[in-house]
Amino acid sequence: MVVTDNKLRVGVIGVGHLGEYHVQKYRALAKTDLIGVVDINQDRGREIARRYDTRHFEKHSDLLSEVDAVSLVVPTELHFDEAKEVLYRGVHLLIEKPITYTIEPADILISMAEERGLVLQVGLVERFNPAIVQMESLLNGPVFLESHRMNPFTERGTDVDVVLDLMIHDLDIILHMVKSEVKELHSVGLSVVTEMTDIANVRLIFENGTVGNLTASRVADKPLRKIRVFQPDAYLSANCLKRELIVTRLDGKADPGTGRIPKVSADKTFFPDSDPLADEITSFVDTVLQGSQPIVSGHDGRRALKYALGIIEQIESGSCQFQKTC
């Protein structure tokens, strides 16, 4: 790996809505040198390059010859071909979720990264949400986990269905939190606006008996992103949108001899100045510089994709069309 002035040379491939945020975060990091950007829309690429005082490259192959690491923020249908070229050129990769459309291409990318000693990190950004990070530190044998991720409809992200667009974040979190394999999954879903699934629900039953219930919608009236954990010593509720965590516990045990009834106390922690995307990108840069393993690896991305595809398959084998009732 080559660095300039002790800085990691980085670039961004795909500078649409989300890609521009990646550019912002790299530009703000003292340990990175933002070499340039690429976008299929040349005018957009030039505008972002001008806005952030960096170079515009017409082809990503030209950018790859001058950087050590890149963010790949392009439509999912382009992930495999472009990620394969990035890794083939010996460049470390932060790829937005989902890692690919199907499992076989994901396996190829993981193998390529491992064979070349490259970092392959998947952009499941909620893993860096401080409310989730704090929640994970408090886990103690969870028995039931529940997530709701709702968004009002926008055309952005509709190249995939709601499972790969939204639910995959919570799949990744819950699969990471529950230290057990999935035994069964039961899912339902329907399309409302697009030709793909816009609302989905799945119940995961793990080998250790833990149950996860996940709901995602991209046709909600307002955004909602919450994960709740029920465990023997506490009830944990993380609001990913507001970046806050509520921990509810009993202050001791009931005592039949004295008639004492334990009280319920709730502690709320706010993280108002946090920036999960900045933390994700900083973690990626540190992982490359230190030669360590990414917090959200290619294997994590593959595992979330595996179950997402299982959910989609089950929904598509049943009824998934919105039907009006009268």
183, pLDDT greater than 90: yes
Residue 259 three-state SS: coil
**Which range of residues forms the domain containing residue 253?**
127-276+307-316
pLDDT above 70 as % of the chain: 93
Query: Is the domain of 158 the same as that of 72?
Result: no
Query: Is the domain of 163 the same as that of 225?
Result: yes
**Is position 321 within any domain?**
no
Write the DSSP assignment of 74-106 as a string of letters.
Answer: S-GGGHHHHHHHHHHTT-EEEEESSS-SSHHHH
215, pLDDT greater than 70: yes
**Is position 246 within any domain?**
yes
Q: Nearest-CA neighbor of 100 among 319, 302, 268? A: 302
pLDDT tens figures, 12-33:
999 999 999 999 999 999 999 9
Rounded CA Rg of the chain: 21
* Beta-bridge partners for 96: 123
261, pLDDT greater than 60: yes
Q: What is the CATH number of the domain that holds 11?
A: 3.40.50.720
pLDDT tens figures, 149-180:
999 988 776 778 999 999 999 999 999 999 99
Query: Is the domain of 58 the same as that of 12?
Result: yes
191, pLDDT greater than 80: yes
Query: Is the domain of 160 the same as that of 271?
Result: yes
| Average predicted confidence (pLDDT) for the chain | 92
Query: Is the domain of 139 the same as that of 59?
Result: no
4, pLDDT greater than 60: no
Number of compact structural domains in the chain: 2
Query: Residue 157: its pLDDT value, please?
Result: 62
Q: How confident is the model at residue 256 (pLDDT cuts 50, 70, 90)?
A: low
Average pLDDT of 204-223?
96
pLDDT tens figures, 80-104:
999 999 999 999 999 999 999 999 9
**Is position 322 within any domain?**
no
Q: How confident is the model at residue 317 (pLDDT cuts 50, 70, 90)?
A: confident
β-strands 7-13, 55-56 pairing: unpaired
195, pLDDT greater than 70: yes
Average pLDDT of 104-108?
98
Query: Is the domain of 24 the same as that of 155?
Result: no
